[in-house]
């Protein structure tokens, strides 16, 4: 009995031991499973976050935003303490900090904001010539790398090239930790998962930055305002035949006597001169909500989709800007320049013309041609800005400007007669004064002229010229009146000026 | 006296409560920014904004230990305009609908109230004499206890407190004819098991217990629950002293652990593997329905020389226990029960604020992020979706069970103030 009982107890104990061992194994297996699961979860999370990052990259055209996305990922998903992105300096001889974040002391942050790394830094050489990355773990025995890290306040770090393999980097991504905080951060380990994710991030960022550079370059050919006008998110959405038709004001600007100015210059000087001029006046168009449809040699064609006042204010500002620009030219010993601006308002079509492989923006309409003719007339009337009656009618309050009536004109190639006005707010102050003082006499003279009272008109015109002997408008009417007196005028005479040249 | 009362402050918030309609505004803020100054600023700003509070009277805060503790507490205190502050370091934080077990997370609860009175303080010297520290807290709060005192929030250093001695000494010293419920959690340090921190106003100390006494026109609904299941046969404590278990089943405790843990888990994996097997002490049937079958104790540390393991509270020689294991299914059921227990206590009332003290062993070391989110969501939806909600992942949860203040392991302790 005792033996049976002892045997039973022994068996139970053995069974118990086996069960315990099974439990231990099951628990160990479960722990291992959980450990693997955790690792997979982490990888999946990083994978998802990288996907999210790529969506964020796709949604922006702003380089600084791209860099912020990179930094946020490094700090908050990869859990490094500090992150810097360096971009090449203009001269390309060094990389300088473009963005940084993480926990730095105020002093560290101050020094890092001006931090630069020479492109010929010996420690960077392997990165620039062949390797994708430089890893400096906390226990690195490479003194040069440790010293390099101290310069950007990291005791363990990774530097990744933003640029393809074998290509010159377009930037450097640095992520790492200070020794004090490393314990609470993702550690820098050469074969660590975080470094692989960092490399993935760097690759994505590189592609985005390259695309962005291309996009920025293309924007120089197709302005953002043009895309906005067509409500297109990107240049790639622009297609041949895209157009928008609405009432707009179109502006033509030209440099007077460009041919005679440029003939004394070398080709390079001509380009420098034109580009220098464009640099001065082009931003004004954007300021007043217009956009440049195209540059035409020394001329600019621009449209203002919103208000005629935008176009006129831009024209006046341009004239003032040229006056300032001339002071600068005179100081350099260069002759001053004059520009003429023609404005007309009407229904027109702005669109994309050309062929599939070569497109450009253009504005098409009879009104466009008319605006071009008005610009041509600025020289004839010696007026800085000429606007059509349609533009005049489109102004919110014409009394806000210094405007005088010019003439009734039938431009070359058109049958319709249009009334023209000169806006002289952009003229030199003394000339403005003369035009204001003689404005009533000129208006009376024009009235008498159209009433065929040529002698009375001449009297008034002489009054104008007595004050302002160079007034070409007064001279024009004086000559016309004399001609009419000499030749006589038919019953059907209207007094319109018919232009036989452009 | 080994214990040292480091500081204490009292704010009487209902000075003018008879004139104005009583109200309590509570806002929750959180930040994960790596810079402690910015993190403090973001968390405080969010707390004040969500609570529509111009200036807070009282602030609770919990923070991960990635931040320099003195810096982050100083800035939270400063940005809150010097409002009384109570809190501790955490393994992770809980704010609103989010849990965060990263090394960089700070959560803030800003309170402005003319119906709650909060008094705070801190006591040191837990390691040398937890009982003395308990008596010191009793001395600090004695004069502030009123009929409307609802409870004491306590955030002690997990690595140095002997909770049983602290609590017993405090309760004996107070000699109250009713239970002063204790709620809170043992301060933690993101699994580093090196140093935890306790906060009182702009002071940060270790080996201390931060406390906040809550009184006023309110009640606290509390509940506690775990989700563990026993494994194998029972074990007997054959030699112990205080909270140190030297022998189990006649062998050094570590030897018995070898039945459950591999060598690697016992050596380099210790710190997380010790959390795998809570010691489960059988509870009387009267409390098992709400709480679960076992009273759980984590093995906080081990001594390889003696083979002893240490648990947070004292144990008795010859006491039997089971090794237990966390079970997600039980945890889900427990969370559901917890929510309904709170709901039962508060009835139709809406809590003004809720604290959740969650064992770090129920966090990311055991369940996945989405499971954690699902549990919190379920709890919040039961108790109140819009209620200001704050908490942290602890190294031990404090809450009364069956009329006795206890420190728990592997549980979720909730305190809803209504």
Domain ranges in chain A are: 1-48, 63-219, 238-425, 438-492
Q: Residue A231's closest CA among A305, A298, A160? A: A305
Sign of the dihedral defined by the CA atoms of residues A378, A382, A383, A386, in that order: negative
Q: How far is B177 from chain A (nearest CA, A)?
A: 46
Contact between A184 and B190 using a beta-carbon 8 Å cutoff = yes
Which phi and psi angles does A418 have, rounded to 5°? -125, 150
Q: What is the pTM of this model?
A: 0.73
Mean pLDDT throughout A127-150? 88
Q: Residue B219's closest CA among B147, B170, B287? A: B147
Give me the residues of B, 79-118, that contact A with CB < 8 A: 102-104
Question: What pLDDT digit, counting tens, does each position of A152-184 carry?
Answer: 999 999 999 998 777 788 999 999 999 999 999
The chain-wide mean pLDDT, for chain A, equals 90
With CA atoms as reference, the chain A residue closest to B66 would be A184
Ranges of chain B with pLDDT below 50: 1-20
The chain-wide mean pLDDT, for chain B, equals 90
Distance (Å, whole) CA A465 – CA A485: 19
Sign of the dihedral defined by the CA atoms of residues B387, B390, B394, B399, in that order: negative
Is A14 in the B-facing interface, judged by CB distances under 8 Å? Answer: no
Q: What is the pLDDT, as a whole number, of residue A352?
A: 82
Contact between B66 and A20 using a beta-carbon 8 Å cutoff = no
Residue of B30, B34, B101 to mutate, interface with A, max A Cβ within 10 Å: B34
Residues of B in contact with A21 (CB under 8 A): 259
More confident residue, A240 or B190: B190
Q: What is the pLDDT, as a whole number, of residue A157?
A: 97
Of A40-44, A336-340, A382-386, B217-221, the poorest mean pLDDT is in A40-44
Mean pLDDT throughout A458-481? 95
Which strand (E) or helix (H) includes residue A280?
Answer: helix A267-287
In chain A, % of residues over pLDDT 70: 99
Please, which pLDDT band fits residue A401 given cuts at 50, 70 and 90?
very high
Please, which pLDDT band fits residue A242 given cuts at 50, 70 and 90?
confident
Q: Residue B61's closest CA among B201, B189, B156? A: B201
Mean pLDDT throughout A426-447? 96
Q: What is the pLDDT, as a whole number, of residue B4?
A: 40
Count how many residues are written for chain A: 502
Contact between B368 and A41 using a beta-carbon 8 Å cutoff = yes
CATH code of the domain occupying A238-425: 3.30.70.1230
Cβ contacts of B212 within 8 Å, gap of 6 or more: B58, B60, B86, B118, B119, B120, B152, B153
Distance (Å, whole) CA A94 – CA B103: 35
Distance (Å, whole) CA B260 – CA B321: 15
Residues of B in contact with A38 (CB under 8 A): 364, 368
Q: How far is A182 from chain B (nearest CA, A)?
A: 9
Hey, where are the domains in chain B? 5-224+333-417, 228-325
More confident residue, A244 or B342: B342
Contact between B261 and A24 using a beta-carbon 8 Å cutoff = yes
Residues of A in contact with B265 (CB under 8 A): 28, 31
Residues of A in contact with B35 (CB under 8 A): 102-104
Q: How far is B286 from chain A (nearest CA, A)?
A: 30
Highest mean pLDDT among A41-45, A181-185, A414-418: A181-185
Of A126-130, A354-358, B120-124, B276-280, the poorest mean pLDDT is in A126-130
Give CA angle at B407 (B403, B410), nearest 5°: 115
Q: What is the pLDDT, as a whole number, of residue A329?
A: 87
Q: What is the pLDDT, as a whole number, of residue A270?
A: 87
Mean pLDDT throughout A374-393? 95
Give me the residues of B, 33-52, that contact A with CB < 8 A: 34-36
Q: What is the pLDDT, as a whole number, of residue B16?
A: 37
Please, which pLDDT band fits residue A213 given cuts at 50, 70 and 90?
confident
Contact between B103 and A103 using a beta-carbon 8 Å cutoff = no
ipTM: 0.79
In chain A, % of residues over pLDDT 90: 58
Please, which pLDDT band fits residue A411 given cuts at 50, 70 and 90?
confident
Residues of B in contact with A102 (CB under 8 A): 34-35
Question: What pLDDT digit, counting tens, does each position of A84-110 carry?
Answer: 999 999 888 899 999 999 988 888 988
Asked if the model's pLDDT at residue A243 lies above 90, the reply is no
Q: How far is A25 from chain B (nearest CA, A)?
A: 8
Q: How far is A320 from chain B (nearest CA, A)?
A: 48
Is A294 in the B-facing interface, judged by CB distances under 8 Å? Answer: no
- Could you identify the residue written with the tokens 């459950």? B260
- Is there a contact between B237 and B315 (Cβ–Cβ < 8 Å)? yes
Contact between B35 and A31 using a beta-carbon 8 Å cutoff = no
Residue of A16, A17, A23, A27 to mutate, interface with B, max B Cβ within 10 Å: A27
Q: DSSP letters along B282-342, please? A: E--HHHHHHH-SEEEE---EEETTTTEEE-SS---TT-EEEEEEE-HHHHHHHHHHHHHHH
Q: What is the pLDDT, as a whole number, of residue B14?
A: 39
Is A185 in the B-facing interface, judged by CB distances under 8 Å? Answer: yes
Coil vs helix vs strand at A439: helix
Give me the residues of A, 109-168, that contact B with CB < 8 A: none
| CATH classification (class only), A63-219 | alpha beta
Which strand (E) or helix (H) includes residue A293?
Answer: strand A291-296
């Amino acid at each position: 009995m005792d033996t049976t009982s002892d045997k039973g107890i022994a068996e139970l104990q053995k069974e118990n031991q086996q069960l315990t061992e099974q439990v231990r194994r099951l628990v160990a297996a479960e722990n291992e499973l959980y450990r693997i699961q955790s690792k997979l979860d982490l990888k999946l999370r990083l994978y998802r976050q990288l996907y999210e990052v790529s969506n964020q990259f796709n949604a922006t055209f702003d380089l600084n935003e791209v860099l912020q996305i990179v930094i946020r990922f490094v700090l908050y998903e990869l859990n490094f303490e500090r992150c810097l992105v360096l971009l090449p300096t203009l001269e390309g001889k060094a990389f300088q900090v473009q963005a940084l974040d993480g926990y730095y002391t105020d002093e560290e942050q101050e020094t890092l904001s001006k931090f630069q790394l020479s492109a010929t830094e010996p420690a960077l050489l392997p990165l620039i010539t062949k390797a994708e990355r430089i890893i400096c773990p906390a226990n690195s025995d490479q003194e040069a790398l440790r010293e390099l890290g101290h310069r950007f306040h990291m005791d363990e770090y990774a530097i990744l090239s933003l640029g393809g393999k074998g290509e010159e980097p377009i930037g450097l991504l640095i992520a790492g930790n200070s020794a004090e905080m490393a314990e609470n951060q993702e550690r820098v380990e050469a074969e660590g998962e975080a470094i692989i994710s960092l490399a993935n991030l760097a690759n994505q960022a590189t592609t985005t930055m390259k695309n962005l550079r291309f996009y920025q370059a293309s924007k120089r050919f197709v302005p953002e305002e043009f895309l906005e006008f067509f409500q297109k998110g990107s240049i790639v959405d622009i297609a041949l035949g895209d157009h928008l038709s609405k009432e707009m004001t179109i502006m033509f600007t030209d440099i007077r006597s460009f041919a005679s100015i440029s003939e004394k210059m070398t080709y390079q000087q001509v380009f420098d001169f034109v580009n220098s001029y464009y640099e001065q006046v082009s931003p004004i168009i954007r300021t007043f909500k217009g956009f440049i449809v195209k540059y035409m040699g020394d001329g600019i064609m621009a449209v203002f989709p919103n208000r005629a006042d935008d176009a006129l204010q831009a024209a006046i500002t341009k004239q003032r800007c040229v006056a300032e620009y001339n002071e600068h030219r005179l100081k350099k010993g260069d002759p001053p320049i004059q520009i003429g601006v023609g404005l007309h308002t009407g229904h027109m079509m702005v669109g994309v013309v050309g062929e599939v492989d070569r497109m450009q923006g253009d504005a098409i309409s009879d009104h466009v041609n008319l605006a071009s003719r008005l610009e041509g007339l600025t020289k004839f009337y010696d007026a800085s800005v000429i606007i059509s009656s349609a533009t005049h009618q489109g102004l919110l309050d014409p009394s806000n400007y210094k405007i005088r009536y010019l003439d009734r004109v039938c431009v070359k190639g058109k049958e319709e007669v249009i009334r023209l006005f000169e806006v002289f707010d952009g003229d030199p102050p003394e000339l403005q004064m003369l035009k204001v003082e003689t404005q009533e006499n000129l208006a009376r003279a024009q009235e008498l002229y159209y009433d065929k009272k040529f002698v009375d008109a001449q009297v008034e015109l002489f009054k104008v010229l007595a004050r302002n002997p160079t007034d070409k408008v007064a001279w024009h009417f004086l000559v016309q009146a004399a001609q009419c007196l000499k030749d006589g005028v038919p019953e059907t005479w209207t007094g319109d000026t018919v232009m036989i040249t452009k | 006296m080994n214990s040292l009362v480091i500081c204490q402050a009292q704010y009487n918030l209902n000075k003018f409560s008879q004139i104005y309609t009583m109200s309590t505004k509570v806002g929750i803020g959180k930040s994960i920014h790596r810079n402690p100054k910015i993190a403090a600023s973001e968390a405080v700003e969010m707390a004040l904004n969500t609570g529509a509070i111009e200036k807070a009277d009282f602030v609770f805060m919990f923070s991960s230990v990635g931040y320099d503790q003195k810096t982050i507490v100083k800035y939270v205190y400063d940005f809150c305009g010097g409002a009384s502050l109570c809190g501790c370091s955490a393994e992770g934080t809980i704010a609103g609908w989010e849990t965060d077990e990263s090394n960089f997370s700070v959560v803030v609860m800003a309170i402005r109230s003319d119906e709650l009175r909060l008094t705070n303080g801190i006591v040191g010297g837990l390691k040398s004499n937890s009982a003395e520290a308990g008596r010191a807290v009793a001395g600090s709060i004695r004069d502030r206890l009123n009929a409307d005192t609802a409870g004491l929030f306590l955030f002690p250093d997990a690595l140095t407190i002997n909770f049983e001695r602290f609590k017993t000494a405090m309760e004996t010293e107070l000699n109250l004819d009713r239970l002063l419920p204790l709620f809170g959690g043992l301060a933690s340090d993101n699994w580093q098991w090196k140093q935890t921190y306790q906060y009182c106003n702009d002071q940060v100390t270790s080996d201390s217990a931060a406390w906040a006494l809550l009184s006023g026109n309110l009640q606290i609904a509390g509940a506690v629950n775990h989700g563990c299941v026993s494994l194998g046969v029972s074990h007997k404590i054959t030699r112990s002293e205080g909270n140190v278990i030297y022998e189990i089943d006649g062998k050094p405790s570590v030897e018995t652990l070898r039945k459950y843990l591999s060598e690697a888990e016992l050596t380099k994996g210790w710190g997380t593997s010790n959390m795998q097997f809570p010691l489960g002490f059988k509870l009387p049937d009267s409390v098992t329905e709400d709480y679960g079958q076992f009273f759980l104790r984590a093995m906080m540390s081990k001594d390889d020389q003696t083979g002893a393991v240490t648990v947070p509270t004292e144990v008795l020689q010859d006491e039997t226990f089971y090794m237990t294991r966390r079970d997600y299914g039980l945890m889900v059921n427990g969370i559901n029960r917890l929510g309904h227990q709170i709901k039962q206590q508060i009835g139709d009332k809406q809590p003004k604020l809720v604290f959740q003290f969650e064992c770090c062993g129920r966090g990311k070391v055991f369940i996945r992020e989405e499971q954690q989110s699902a549990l919190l969501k379920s709890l919040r939806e039961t108790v109140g979706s819009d209620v200001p909600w704050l908490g942290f992942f602890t190294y031990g949860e404090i809450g009364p069970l069956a009329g006795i203040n206890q420190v728990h392991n592997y549980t979720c302790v909730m305190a809803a103030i209504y």
